[in-house]
Structure 1
Amino acid sequence: MSRPHGLIAVLLTFAALGASLVLYERLPAIIPLHWNLHGQVDGYGAKEWAVFALPSLMAALLVLYRLLPWLSPRRFEVDSFRLTCDFLMVLSVALLGYIHALSLWAAASGTADVARPMVAGIFLFFALLGNVLGRVRRNFWIGVRTPWTLASERVWIDTHRFSARLFVAIGIAGFLAILAGAPIVAAVALLLASVLVCVVYSLVHSKRLERRGVI
């Protein structure tokens, strides 16, 4: 992990933890944890553990990324795209920190509607993910990991180039649609459909290359 990326991720994690500690006494005993597709709270938790759940997950993610080079088997190492991996680590930690900040805001105010900005942030995450997804090389941890992409370097590269363009387009379109007031259900359905399209593409493209004798 590069020092700048690691430092940013650590600072984000400590900022999330610090926000929990600062706001702890002002929060109600039971705080919202989950929102359904209609933007309504449908899950609560005791603040004693709930306010520390996402900062703990952010810290765990840092540890996992640190271990990826050691965990990865030969020919599936992450070292070949280390800087991209580091960027995705910061991006993932930042998304969790953003969700944590919105959750604290909702808990502290008691009235804030955070479902829409939360979904908008997820779409922005996918747009940024797509911007670098084409640089990810074959591995067991990051990317469109299907039996067909893992079995063929050619299928992996082609699938990730396709997925990168799709994620950028869907991410930007979904982000703008949410800001414009589009239904959250429709936006999330579009996002899930795009993920499914990437999986199907890897299968169809693999079979096409097999018929042509390329792989």
Structure 2
Amino acid sequence: MKNKILGITTFLPLVVTLIVINFLPERIPRHYDLQGNIDAWGSRYTLFIFPVVIILITLIWLLVIKYFEKKSISAEEDKERKEAGGNAKVLYVVAIVENLVFNVMCYSFIFSAYLEVKSNAQVMAIDINTVMGVVYGLMFIVLGNVMSKCKRNSVLGLRTPWSMKNDIAWAKSQRWGGISFIVSGIIIIISAFIYGGLAVIGIMLGVLTLDAVLCFPLSYIAWKKSEERG
């Protein structure tokens, strides 16, 4: 089932673009300035960039997933095999959620271009920044909920010099990092509805920077406490 969902979310944007592109003129809005005004036009075939990027990113995810799936079979220790299998499942969730975010962004760009062409508009028909804030906020909330399910590895999760030292430090780091992601997602969504525009992007970058600043000392504290307990 997870392979089917991943496949649908990977190729649906390409199918939708192939259908919709026939209803668009040769030239569509291609770029917007900071105020949302259309400042460049281009070929309608530029809409294929997003679907192709989605496919390429999914292929990278699949390579990482296959690595963990092989490790879940070939690892010598039972604990290592279970952890690898669990991480492969978490990666499927992450890949699907990311694809859903990209799906929404892709359809928003297509619909916005259609509305702009239809009404001969000179400004962005849909506030893409607001859409980004909402979908990325939701993505952070989902990722925050699955972080605690990640087992210690060098690819996925909150990896710091301290979280990688032992399983206790890792588990606590993921728990605190997950809470931080959930709170960040809620803040980003609220700011998207209140402010919109470029302010959303600024707030999103600020919140994620704060996450990074907070998670490192929290991870260190988790490791320090695990060492004190022996």
> Is the TM-score greater than 0.5?
yes
AA in 2 matched with 1:153: D
* Matches of 2:70 and 2:29, distance apart in 1: 37
2:174 to 145, 160, 165: 160
Which residue number in structure 1 is paired with residue 119 of structure 2?
none
Please identify, of 109-118 and 122-131, the stretch whose mean Cα deviation from structure 2 is larger. 109-118
* Partner residue in 2 for 1:12: 9
The answer to whether structure 1 residue 91 and structure 2 residue 105 are counterparts is no
Specify whether residues 191 and 43 from structure 1 end up closer, same or farther in structure 2 by C-alpha distance, changes over 3 A only.
farther
Give matches, 1:74-85, under 5 Å.
74=75, 75=80, 78-85=84-91
How far, CA to CA, are the matches of 2:49 and 2:32 in structure 1? 11
Decide which of 194, 218, 229 is 1:201's aligned counterpart: 218
User: Is residue 78–residue 85 contact of structure 1 (8 Å, CA) maintained in 2?
Assistant: no
Q: Give aligned-pair identity as a percent.
A: 19
Q: Name the amino acid aligned to 2:129.
A: A
1:1-215 pair list within 5 angstroms:
4-25=1-22, 26=24, 29=27, 32=30, 47-48=45-46, 50-69=49-68, 74=75, 75=80, 78-110=84-116, 111-112=124-125, 113-181=127-195, 183-184=199-200, 185-210=202-227, 212=228, 214=230
Give the superposition deviation at 1:62: 4.9
Instruction: Give, in angstroms, the shift of residue 31 of structure 1.
Output: 5.3
CA distance in 1, matches of 2:42, 2:216: 35
The unaligned stretches of length 5 or more in structure 1 are none
| AA at the equivalent of 1:89 | A
- The root-mean-square deviation of aligned C-alpha atoms, in Å, is 3.3
Max Rg structure: 2
Unpaired runs of at least 5, structure 2:
117-123
TM (normalized to structure 2)?
0.74
Change (3 A) 1:55 1:89: closer
Higher relative contact order (CA 8 A, sep 6+): 1
